[in-house]
Amino acid sequence: MIQSVAIIGAGYAGLACAVELASKGVQVTMFDRSHVLGGRSRLLTKDGHRVDNGQHILIGAYTELTRLLRHTRVSPKVLERMPLTLISPGRFRFRAAGLPAPLHLAVGLLTAQGLDWADRLAVIRLIRFLKRKRFQLPPEHTVQLLLHETGQTGHTVAWIWEPLCVAALNTPIAYASAQIFANVLRDSVAAHAGASEVLIPRVDLSELFPVQAARYLATRRGKLRTGTTVKAIEPVEGGFRLDCDHPTRQVFEQVVVATAPYHAPSLLRSAGGCERLAKQIEALEYEPITTVYFTLGEQVRLPAPMMLLSDGPAQWVFDRGQFGGEAGLLACVISAHGPHDSLEREELEITIHQQLERELGRRLPAPDWVLSVVERRATIACRPGIVRPDIHTPVPGLWLAGDYIDSPYPATLESAVRSGVAVAEAALRRMSRRH
Ligand X SMILES: Cc1cc2nc3c(=O)[nH]c(=O)nc-3n(C[C@H](O)[C@H](O)[C@H](O)COP(=O)(O)OP(=O)(O)OC[C@H]3O[C@@H](n4cnc5c(N)ncnc54)[C@H](O)[C@@H]3O)c2cc1C
Residues at the contact surface with ligand X, assessed by CB under 6 A:
8-14, 31-34, 39-41, 53-54, 56-58, 229-230, 258-260, 263, 289, 291, 375, 378-379, 402-403, 411-414, 416
Cβ–Cβ under 8 Å, residues 79 and 58? yes
**Residue number with CB closer to ligand X (296 or 416):** 416
- In the bound complex, what is the minimum distance in angstroms from residue 134's beta carbon to ligand X? 25
- In the bound complex, what is the minimum distance in angstroms from residue 129's beta carbon to ligand X? 26
- In the bound complex, what is the minimum distance in angstroms from residue 56's beta carbon to ligand X? 4
**Residue number with CB closer to ligand X (54 or 397):** 54
**Residue number with CB closer to ligand X (36 or 109):** 36
Cβ–Cβ under 8 Å, residues 99 and 193? yes
- In the bound complex, what is the minimum distance in angstroms from residue 345's beta carbon to ligand X? 16
**Residue number with CB closer to ligand X (109 or 411):** 411
**Residue number with CB closer to ligand X (62 or 161):** 62
- In the bound complex, what is the minimum distance in angstroms from residue 366's beta carbon to ligand X? 25
- In the bound complex, what is the minimum distance in angstroms from residue 17's beta carbon to ligand X? 9
Going from the C-alpha of 434 to that of each of 136, 343, 430, the distances in angstroms are 39, 56, 6
**Residue number with CB closer to ligand X (51 or 105):** 51
Strands 58-59 vs 198-201: parallel, antiparallel or unpaired: antiparallel
CB-based burial of residue 282 (10 Å sphere; 0-12 exposed, 13-18 middle, 19+ buried)?
exposed
**Residue number with CB closer to ligand X (147 or 258):** 258
- In the bound complex, what is the minimum distance in angstroms from residue 417's beta carbon to ligand X? 8
